[in-house]
């Protein structure tokens, strides 16, 4: 098998243009990511997923951001409208672990029926009092044990539904007080505190097949953001022990400064396996794809292992899941 391109890329609209088809055929990206601009109706989404896979001639990974709350690309009537994860968890109380499993099992079912086989969830970032509002209510809790337990339930729900979870944001975004879509967050906590708190849920979930980096500086490790830091990436691989495929967070986010080609090369040199590029022109996607090139042999191994982790969904009774979730949550199930 020829190596995959070291990219996950997006598309402009509801179906691929001839130019996009030709580009994807040549660039051979590992996978694709969907956004709201790519979603109209169920038949159209399934057809677009078919376009992606036909363009590269294989059953490529197709992912999406479907956390629930503010971050959900599929909306009614295609999908259930969910409350923010932390609000959901707080309402569920002692039933939170089961409620989170059911929530993401239903989400996985929605995705799988549309041909989408990955989701950029769960987040294992800790919520702190000063966590930036863009992130805080997307977290699963304030303690490492709770976050690890709930994120594990969410991850297993995805896997049971035939959908690969993407663990994010490695090694931990929760202390960030800036929104990395617009600024580069800096965390000055001591490494010992990071290990005991922020990094601990990721270590507990280090067996998952896919992960996503944090565009965050951890000054006690390095002055470069994690995505571009060999020191931080070595820590993720060695100390945290994550050996799954690591994709960058969107390489075009404003937390990172510099051109797309240089950033892509720097992220791969630091130890990332795949460059995620979103919301750009076709010319920008081509710039990223050319800079990223093909996966390394090690990245290819991780990429193939992740694809091999896709399984046929475990049969479930959707109505029974909804009823059980309603019992756990009362009237606080959906957004």
* Given 181, 193, 207, 220, the catalytic residue: 181
Cis bond upstream, residue 77 (ω within 30): yes
Please report the sign of the dihedral spanned by the C-alpha atoms of residue 254, residue 36, residue 127, residue 117.
negative
Residue 141 falls in which region: left (phi positive, over 0), alpha (psi -120 to 50) or beta: left
Query: Which position has the token pair 């959906």?
Result: 334
Distance CA 238, CA 82 (A): 36
Residue 215 appears among annotated catalytic residues: no
Strand 61-64 to 29-34 pairing: parallel
With 0-12 CB in 10 A as exposed, 13-18 as middle and 19+ as buried, what is 154? buried
Residue 43 appears among annotated catalytic residues: no
Distance CA 123, CA 138 (A): 7
Distance CA 126, CA 298 (A): 30
Q: Is 186 helix (H, G, I), strand (E, B) or coil?
A: strand
Q: Which DSSP string do the residues of 104-166 spell out, in sequence order?
A: HHHHHHHHHHTT--EE---B-PPP-TT--HHHHTTS--SSHHHHHHHHHHHHHHHHHTT-EE-
CB atoms within 10 A of CB 175: 22
* Given 51, 249, 250, 273, the catalytic residue: 249
Asked whether 276 and 212 are in contact (CB, 8 A), the reply is: yes
CA triple 278-281-286, angle to 5 deg: 85
- Cα–Cα distance list, 283 to 145, 257, 275, 289, 298 (Å): 44, 19, 16, 10, 28
Which of the residues are catalytic? 181, 249
């Amino acid at each position: 098998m020829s190596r995959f391109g070291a990219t996950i890329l997006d598309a402009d609209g509801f179906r691929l243009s001839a130019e996009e088809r030709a580009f994807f055929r040549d660039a051979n990206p590992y996978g694709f990511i969907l956004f709201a601009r790519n979603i109209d109706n169920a038949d159209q989404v399934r057809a677009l997923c078919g376009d992606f896979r036909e363009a590269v001639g294989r059953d490529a990974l197709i992912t999406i951001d479907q956390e629930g709350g503010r971050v959900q690309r599929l909306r009614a009537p295609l999908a259930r409208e969910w409350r923010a994860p932390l609000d959901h968890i707080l309402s569920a109380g002692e039933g939170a672990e089961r409620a989170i499993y059911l929530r993401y099992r239903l989400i996985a079912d929605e995705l799988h029926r549309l041909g989408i086989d990955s989701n950029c969830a769960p987040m294992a970032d800790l919520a702190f009092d000063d966590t930036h509002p863009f992130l805080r209510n997307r977290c699963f809790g304030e303690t490492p044990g709770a976050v690890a337990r709930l994120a594990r339930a969410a991850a297993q729900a995805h896997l049971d539904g035939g959908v690969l979870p993407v663990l994010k944001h490695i090694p931990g975004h929760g202390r960030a007080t800036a929104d990395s879509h617009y600024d580069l967050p800096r965390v000055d906590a001591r490494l010992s505190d990071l290990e005991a708190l922020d990094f601990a849920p990721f270590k507990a979930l280090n067996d998952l097949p896919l992960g996503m980096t944090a565009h965050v500086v951890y000054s006690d490790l390095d002055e470069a953001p994690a995505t571009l830091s060999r020191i931080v990436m070595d820590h993720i691989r060695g100390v945290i022990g994550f050996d799954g495929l690591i994709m960058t967070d969107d390489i075009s986010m404003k937390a990172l400064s510099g051109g797309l080609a240089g950033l892509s090369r720097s992220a791969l040199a630091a130890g990332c396996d795949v460059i995620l590029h979103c919301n750009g022109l076709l010319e920008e996607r081509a710039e990223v794809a050319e800079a990223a090139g093909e996966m390394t042999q090690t990245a290819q191994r991780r990429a193939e292992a992740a694809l091999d982790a896709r399984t046929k969904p475990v049969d479930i009774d959707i109505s029974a899941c909804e009823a059980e979730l309603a019992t756990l949550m009362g009237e606080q199930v959906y957004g």
